[in-house]
Chain A
Amino acid sequence: MGENEGNREGGLIADLLGSDRRFTAGTPPRDATGWSITALFVALFVIFATWSTLNGIHAALATVGVGGVLPAIPLVLCGIAALILLWPAVQSWRQSQVAKSALAGGDLVATRVATASLREYAFSTFGYAAVVVIALFAAQFFIANELAVSRTFFQVPLIVSSLSLVIKAFWTNIYIFVIAEILVLVWGLIVAIARMLPGDAARPIRLISMIYTDMFRGLPAIINIYLIGFGIPLTGLPVLKDLQPESYAILALTLTYGAYVAEVYRSGIESIHWSQVAAARSLGLSYMQTMRYVVVPQAVRRIIPPLLNDFIGLQKDTALVNVIGSIDAFNQARIVASNHFNLSPVTTVALLFILITIPQTRLVDKLIERDQRRTRAGGN
């Protein structure tokens, strides 16, 4: 130790650390009682805010004739549930007392443990409180102006009566996106392969595929659908001019999403390290065999998450077909909505879309997570 001290004088390390740098991890932790007091105040405040909002809900329900005791029961239960917020806050306070006495007794380790758990409890209080506050804002929004929001978007009788009509129209959306997705899978692969053909001879093909992907990724889907849906019938081209609006929508969405998916394929294939290609080629496999047996099987795993993401986008964009007058769920809902001067049927459509996409987004996240675990584990 003594000789080292001499060596450090004037050196770079001494310069960086300063001459009076000492080991600090051994000092007592900073007093965090403030956090636990704050947690207590936050918990109490949020509980009172909850009670006042619940009261407001009760009053609002009374104005629409659902007052009385029975609807009050869940509200009271919610009010009691809000008290749970006190638990982490009180725990945090208790740990602060433990920390204090441990420090007085000179037990540094116990002090650190108690301080850490004090913080943990305090921050969980804040976390749960934040969630409750968001819920309260939402509730206030719904009951504001004598339930105006609820009535506009969630008129239950209208939702129920229009449900079967809207769901039936939703099949149009499903039909459009299922067919379009199948076509996109094939079309995107063709474009991607065209874009990656090796050699000088394929230069024009690469160029044309590049122009296509650039163009259709830049063109808003709604304009594309509009142009194809109204334009092609006007051209009078045989066969093409007499298609259903749904077919034009499928064509337009395939062209738009084909461009995205081609890029997904391409980046997936290019993400396979060139040394894999070198290894395959060095064994005498041809370019196509290398793609087929070595590159694509490895790329597929990486492609699936972004591919699903694009499919989710495509599914949502089927709602755009209303610009060419196809009776999809959104268009149907709008018709009902304007007849009743109420947007509740559109809410149904919104919920339907959310309902079909959520499992897919969850799946995408799962797949990405799985892939990351694999790469972290040292695979390829």
Chain B
Amino acid sequence: MAMIEICNITKSYGEFKVFDGLSLEVEEHQVVCLIGPSGCGKSTLLRCMNGLETIQDGEIRIHGDRMSGPGVDVNALRRDVGIVFQSYNLFPHMSVLENVTLAPVKVLHESRASAEEKAMRLLKRIGLEHKAREYPDRLSGGQQQRVAIVRALAMGPMVLLLDEITSALDPELVSEVLNIVRDLAAEGMTMLLATHEMGFAREVASKVCFLYGGKVHEEGPPSQMFSEPKEERTRAFLQRIIEAGRL
């Protein structure tokens, strides 16, 4: 049984159907990359998995447990499934350290000292321990995004969802963020990432999924998806990406 099973889910905003029977499986320690044209629902899918959005039909299961629909403890779900957003969303009125320790202290009831000690270790890993007392607006975009990743990691998530975490960054800052993701992948963290960084997807992904028409239109290992996609749509999409010089 796969760790995460997304079965036949449906979601619409009013008349507009974002998902129409979408299914997807993620094995433990896999890195799954979601690609697809803008507006195809990559962010929405990640937000549904984290309980920030509700689905109308179908099921999301983790280790066989239903994690969608009524009666789910979303707060508990979110402890296991972390998410990092495109726009970092650090809390501007808190220092880096407070950003990272808030949830461990308030949600997991860790002692402040041990939460801070853990946060400092994580910050050290990403080379930002000297910024622990700074406020987010004094950090570069890349540094903020790295802190956002650490903030999610501090909750000890089983799965990490990353939503276009580099698309708001200047090109020279992208690699410092991707390096962290690369490390996490090497350590076996289960991750789903929505991304436009095709080169990176090709490198780290265990599986690439092309979202189109409210479904996973095509999926496969990166070598196959990027070199010889079977579907016409996938080919057209990748063709456009290549023309834009992003692959």
Contacts and interface: CB of A to CB of B under 8 A. Distances in A.
A367 to B, nearest CB: 16
What does DSSP make chain A's interface, helix, strand, loop or mixed?
A: helix
A278 B152 contact: no
A289 B85 contact: no
Given A298-B93, A380-B137, A282 B52 contact: yes
A282 B83 contact: yes
Contacts of B83: 282
**Residue with the greatest number of chain B CB neighbours at <10 A, chosen from A278, A279, A282, A379:** A282
Contacts of A377: 137
A278 B148 CA distance: 13
A276 B107 contact: no
B164 to A, nearest CB: 14
Contacts of B82: 282-283
A101 interface: no
Contacts of B106: 285, 289, 293
B89 A278 contact: yes
Interface string A258-286: 00000000000000000110111111111
A289 B52 CA distance: 16
B89 A275 contact: yes
Nearest to B106: A289
Given A278-B52, A293-B102, A283 B89 contact: no
B42 interface: no
Given A293-B106, A379-B137, A279 B89 contact: yes
Interface string B57-97: 00000000000000000111011001101010111110000
Interface size class of B (residues with CB under 8 A): 20 to 34
Interface string A281-309: 11111100100011001100000000000
Interface residues of A, number: 20
Given A293-B102, A378-B137, A380-B137, A283 B92 contact: no
A275 B78 contact: no
B155 interface: yes
A380 to B, nearest CB: 4
B152 A283 contact: yes
B78 A282 contact: yes
Contacts of B79: 284
**Residue with the greatest number of chain B CB neighbours at <10 A, chosen from A278, A284, A285, A379:** A284
Interface of B: 47, 50, 52, 74-76, 78-79, 82-83, 85, 87, 89-93, 102-103, 106-107, 137, 151-152, 155
Across the A-B interface, the 6 shortest Cβ-Cβ residue pairs: A279-B89, A283-B103, A380-B92, A284-B78, A284-B107, A284-B79
